Structure 1
Amino acid sequence: MGSTRYITSMGELSRKDDSLCFRKNGKNVYIPVETTKEIFCLNEISINSKLLDFIGRNNIVMHFFNYYGGYSGTFYPKNQYMSGKLLIKQVKTFECDRITVARAIVDGIGKNIKEVLYHYYKHEKPEVKPVIDWLSGEFRKSTEAAEDIPELMSYEGEAWARFYGTFEFFLPETFIMNKRVKRPPDNPINALISFGNTLLYAKTVSAIYRTHLDQRISFLHEPAERRFSLSLDISEVFKPVIVFRTIFDLVNNKRLQVEKHFERKINYCVLNDEGRRVFIEAFEKRMESVFMHSRLKRRVSYRTAIKLDCYKLIKFIMEGKAFVPFSLKEGV
């Protein structure tokens, strides 16, 4: 799966000469360091400080997840892209022009939700038209007029809620959502959204790590301890494009089925091992899929598009150039 390695089984990860070795059930699986940029640990694994030192020296980001597929944390190598000048400007932008960046992010979310829904409207699902119209009209006017972050966040929340409300028109009944439940997810569709959002968040952590931006200083979400809040900002506009299009494709083509790919208990629902394998494969395929970038005039992957949004934000912070997050319709 390109430069990303997923570990889904219990075992031990260690350094073996100049490679990584994952040992499970008495067998060794070798992971080449030179082609690995990030590792996703989706099960319990044993590691030691010698391994972490080796991973750190090779600038590999290592993400850890809990039993429910939720994000636990990241081993973040010493940052090799530090820039004091950008850090100062990023803080000043937060203090003086936070609303501009936040408004651009919320507007980008609305545009990409609208584009995803328009696909279903074109394929004889007229029931989604009221939400498309709302996103084009009242939602955009409201975000443009918003005067503070809480107001913007309320419009963003309403956009997602209306989006979730359209699922009944193009998803099977077994994947209909009653309400969004996160910790832990309580039904198959919530399980898929939580898992997909978590993978995308970790991908964004990796992308920001390879720029000079500071992960802790965000604009739409409140900067917080114990999480990389800028990754929440950058990943938001890509959720409709990457996470939800992956979910819709897998569900509507019956590649994921409730009775076959989920583990359900009294108060939670998670993907089983086979379900995670199917989702990860589709998620990575979409991350690596390409589109014609309208400004660069070349084909670009969605993985690269996330990093390009980081550079757009840097341009805004350093040069005042308008920050316009990724648009599915415009291909930029």
Structure 2
Amino acid sequence: MGSTKYIMSMGELTRKDNSLCFRRDGKNVYIPVENTKEIFCFNEVSINTKLLDFLSQNNIIIHFYNYYGGYSGTYYPKDHYLSGKLLVKQVLKYENDRMSVARAIVKGIGLNIYEVLYHYYKHGKKEVKETIDWIKSDFIRLVEQSQDVKELMAYEGEAWRRFYADFKYFLPEDFVMNKRVKRPPDNPINALVSFGNTLLYTKTISAIYQTHLDQRISFLHEPSVGRFSLSLDMSEVFKPVIVFRTIFDLVNNHRIQVEKHFEKNVNYCILNEEGRKIFVKAFEERMESVFEHSRLKRKVTYRTALKLDCYKLIKNILEDKEFVPFSLKEGM
């Protein structure tokens, strides 16, 4: 899968000469470092400081997940894209003009939800019309008139609530969402959403790492200890486009099935190893799929679009150019 490597099994990850070596069940699998940018570990993986030093030398990020598929943390090589000037400006943007960026993000979320639902409306699912009408009228107006971040977050929450409620019109009954439950997820659709959102969040960490932005200074989400809050901001508008379209395709084409691909317990429901493999493959295919970028006049991948949004934010911070996040309709 190109620059991303996924480890689904228990084993040991070490440096072997100038390659990475994953050892499991007495067998070695070699991972070349030349085109590896990030590694995802979805099981217990032993590592040592020699490996971490080698990852740092090659600017490779490694993400760790817990048993439930939730994000545990990231080994993040020392920043090699440092900019004191941008850091100062990013802080000033947060202090003086936070709302303009936060408002743009929430508006972008709503417009991309609209496009995803409109696809189903065009294909005969007329029941979603109430939500798409609300987004184009009330939601956009309320977001543009909002006065603070708390108010914005309330409108964002309402947009997601209406979106989830419409799943029953185009997904099988087994995958209808009654309510969003995260830690841990309690049914198959919540398990898919949690896993997909976490994948996208960590992809965004990797994208921001390749820019001069500071991960800790966010605009919609509160900057807080212990998380990369800017990654939460930058991933939001891509959730309808990448995470949910991946889920809908997998479920409606029966590639993910309740009886085959989930582990269920009294208090949780998570994807099993086979389910994760299927989801990761589809997710990567979505990230690498191309569309015509209306401004650049060339084809780009969604992975590139994610990084382009980071550069748009930098231009907003340094040059006060309007920040308009990725739009599925506009293709930019």
Q: TM-score, normalised by structure 1?
A: 1.00
Q: Structure 1 counterpart of 2:155, which letter?
A: Y
Q: What SS is found at the alignment partner of 2:9?
A: coil
- Deviation per CA, 1:43-83: give whole Å up to 9, x if none: 00000000000001100010000000000000000100000
- Deviation per CA, 1:173-218: give whole Å up to 9, x if none: 0001110000000000000000000000000000000000000000
Alignment match, 1:307:
307
Alignment match, 1:146:
146
Aligned 1:162-311 pairs, distance under 5 A: 162-311=162-311
Alignment match, 1:90:
90
Q: Do structure 1's residue 321 and structure 2's residue 329 form an aligned pair? A: no
Q: Quick one: distance in 2 between partners of 1:263 and 1:141? A: 43
Q: Quick one: distance in 2 between partners of 1:320 and 1:195? A: 35
- Deviation per CA, 1:105-159: give whole Å up to 9, x if none: 0000000000000000000000000000000000000000000000000000000
Q: Quick one: distance in 2 between partners of 1:198 and 1:183? A: 12
Alignment match, 1:67:
67
Q: Quick one: distance in 2 between partners of 1:324 and 1:35? A: 31
Q: Quick one: distance in 1 between partners of 2:166 and 2:249? A: 15
Which structure 1 segments of 5+ residues have no match?
none
- Deviation per CA, 1:201-243: give whole Å up to 9, x if none: 0000000000000000000000011000000000000000000
Q: What SS is found at the alignment partner of 1:166?
A: helix
Q: Structure 2 counterpart of 1:285, which letter?
A: E
Q: What SS is found at the alignment partner of 1:39?
A: strand
Q: TM-score, normalised by structure 2?
A: 1.00
Alignment match, 2:18:
18
Q: What SS is found at the alignment partner of 2:156?
A: helix
Q: Quick one: distance in 2 between partners of 1:159 and 1:69? A: 26
Alignment match, 1:38:
38
Q: Quick one: distance in 2 between partners of 1:44 and 1:194? A: 20
Q: Quick one: distance in 1 between partners of 2:71 and 2:136? A: 33
Q: Quick one: distance in 1 between partners of 2:35 and 2:95? A: 39
Alignment match, 1:29:
29
Q: Following TM superposition, by how much is the alpha carbon of 1:270 offset from its aligned partner in structure 2, in angstroms?
A: 0.3
Q: Structure 1 counterpart of 2:168, which letter?
A: E
Q: Quick one: distance in 2 between partners of 1:214 and 1:318? A: 14
Q: Quick one: distance in 2 between partners of 1:2 and 1:285? A: 11
Q: Quick one: distance in 2 between partners of 1:287 and 1:224? A: 28
Q: What SS is found at the alignment partner of 1:147?
A: coil
Percent identity over the alignment is: 75
Q: Quick one: distance in 1 between partners of 2:47 and 2:110? A: 42
Q: Quick one: distance in 1 between partners of 2:195 and 2:34? A: 28
Q: Quick one: distance in 2 between partners of 1:286 and 1:178? A: 26
Q: Quick one: distance in 2 between partners of 1:75 and 1:210? A: 15
Q: Structure 2 counterpart of 1:2, which letter?
A: G
Q: Structure 1 counterpart of 2:187, which letter?
A: N
Q: Quick one: distance in 1 between partners of 2:121 and 2:70? A: 33
Q: Quick one: distance in 2 between partners of 1:219 and 1:311? A: 15
Q: Quick one: distance in 1 between partners of 2:140 and 2:35? A: 43
Q: What SS is found at the alignment partner of 2:139?
A: helix
Q: Quick one: distance in 1 between partners of 2:259 and 2:48? A: 38
- Deviation per CA, 1:23-44: give whole Å up to 9, x if none: 0000000000011000000100
Q: Structure 1 counterpart of 2:300, which letter?
A: V
- Deviation per CA, 1:83-124: give whole Å up to 9, x if none: 000000000000000000000000000000000000000000
Which structure 2 segments of 5+ residues have no match?
none
- Deviation per CA, 1:288-330: give whole Å up to 9, x if none: 0000000000000000000000000000000000000000000
Alignment match, 1:127:
127
Q: What SS is found at the alignment partner of 2:215?
A: coil
Q: What SS is found at the alignment partner of 1:282?
A: helix
Q: In the comparison of the two structures, how many residue pairs are matched?
A: 332
Q: Structure 1 counterpart of 2:282, which letter?
A: A
Spell out structure 1 runs of 4+ moving beyond 2 A.
none
Q: Following TM superposition, by how much is the alpha carbon of 1:2 offset from its aligned partner in structure 2, in angstroms?
A: 1.0
Q: Structure 2 counterpart of 1:36, which letter?
A: T
